C-alpha cells in the first residue's frame, strides 16, 4: 500500500514537471476566451435591458433610435439603418432630425432613391407639397421604375385639382405595379373628377379585384351606377 502511494505521488510530481510552455499558453488562451465570452454576454444583457426593459424608454420609436444609432456607428454606410433611424425620428416628431439623417444617407449613396423619396414623404405628411414634389421628381429621375414616387406625384396633382397630370402619374404607377388597389382607386377618382365615368367605374372594379373589401370603391360604383340610371 505504501509503495502504491509513493508511485502515485511520483506520477503527480512528474505530470507537473511535464508542462511545456505550449500547455501554459493554451490554458491562458482558454481562460482569456472564457473571460471575453462572459464579458460579451454581460454586454448583450445590458443592451437588451437598455433597449427593452429600461423604464425610461417608453416607445418603440425610442428603442429604434438607440438601436439604429448604434448600427450606424458600427456601419456608417448602412443605408437601411439611416432609413430606419429617420423613421424613428419621424415617429418621435423630430422632423428636422429625420430630414437631416436622410440627407446624410443621400450623400453616402446618390444613386439610391429611397432617402430622397422618404424626404418627400415626410414633407408630404407635413403638408409641404412644393418641397415634397421636388423630392419625388428627383427620386423618379434616379429610379424611373419606382412605384411610390409616381404614386405620390399623382396624389399631389390630384389634391391640386390638376386631374390630367394626376391621371398621367397614376397610370405610370400602375405600369410599374398593376396590382396596387390604391392606385387603381385613385385613378378611378381622378377619372370621375374629369367626368369620365365609364373609365372611373373600370378602375373601381379593378380596385375591388385587389382590395375586395374596399368601401371607397364599393360606394363609388353604387354612386356612379345610380347616376347612370338617373340619366
- How far apart CA 138 and CA 113 sit, in angstroms, is 8
- pLDDT for the residue 60: 75
Residue 120 has pLDDT above 60, yes or no: yes
- pLDDT for the residue 117: 97
Per-residue pLDDT tens digits for 218-229: 999 999 987 555
Distance from the first to the final alpha carbon of the chain: 120
Per-residue pLDDT tens digits for 138-153: 999 999 999 999 999 9
DSSP readout, 183-229? HHHHHHHHHHHTT-HHHHHHHHHHHHHH-TT-HHHHHHHHHHHHHHH
For the chain, what is the mean pLDDT?
Answer: 83
**CA 40-46-35 angle, 5° bins:** 25
Is the four-CA dihedral 53, 56, 60, 66 of positive or negative sign?
negative
Amino acid at each position: 500500500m505504501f509503495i502504491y502511494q509513493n508511485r502515485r505521488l511520483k506520477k503527480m510530481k512528474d505530470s507537473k514537471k511535464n508542462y511545456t510552455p505550449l500547455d501554459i499558453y493554451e490554458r491562458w488562451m482558454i481562460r482569456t476566451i472564457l473571460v471575453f465570452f462572459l464579458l460579451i454576454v454581460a454586454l448583450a444583457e445590458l443592451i437588451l435591458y437598455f433597449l427593452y426593459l429600461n423604464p425610461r424608454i417608453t416607445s418603440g420609436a425610442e428603442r429604434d433610435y438607440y438601436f439604429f444609432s448604434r448600427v450606424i456607428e458600427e456601419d456608417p454606410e448602412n443605408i437601411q439603418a439611416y432609413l430606419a433611424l429617420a423613421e424613428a425620428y419621424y415617429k418621435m416628431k423630430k422632423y428636422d432630425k429625420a430630414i437631416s439623417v436622410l440627407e446624410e444617407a443621400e450623400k453616402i449613396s446618390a444613386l439610391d432613391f429611397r432617402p430622397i423619396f422618404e424626404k418627400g414623404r415626410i414633407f408630404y405628411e407635413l403638408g409641404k407639397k412644393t418641397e415634397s414634389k421636388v423630392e419625388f421628381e428627383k427620386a423618379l429621375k434616379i429610379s424611373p421604375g419606382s412605384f411610390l414616387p409616381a404614386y405620390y406625384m399623382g396624389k399631389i396633382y390630384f389634391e391640386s385639382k390638376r386631374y390630367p397630370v394626376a391621371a398621367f402619374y397614376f397610370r405610370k404607377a400602375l405600369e410599374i405595379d398593376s396590382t396596387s388597389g390604391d392606385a387603381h382607386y385613385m385613378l378611378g377618382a381622378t377619372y370621375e373628377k374629369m367626368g369620365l365615368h365609364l373609365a372611373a367605374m373600370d378602375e373601381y372594379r379593378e380596385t375591388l379585384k385587389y382590395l375586395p373589401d374596399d368601401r371607397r370603391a364599393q360606394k363609388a360604383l353604387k354612386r356612379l351606377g345610380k347616376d347612370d340610371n338617373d340619366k
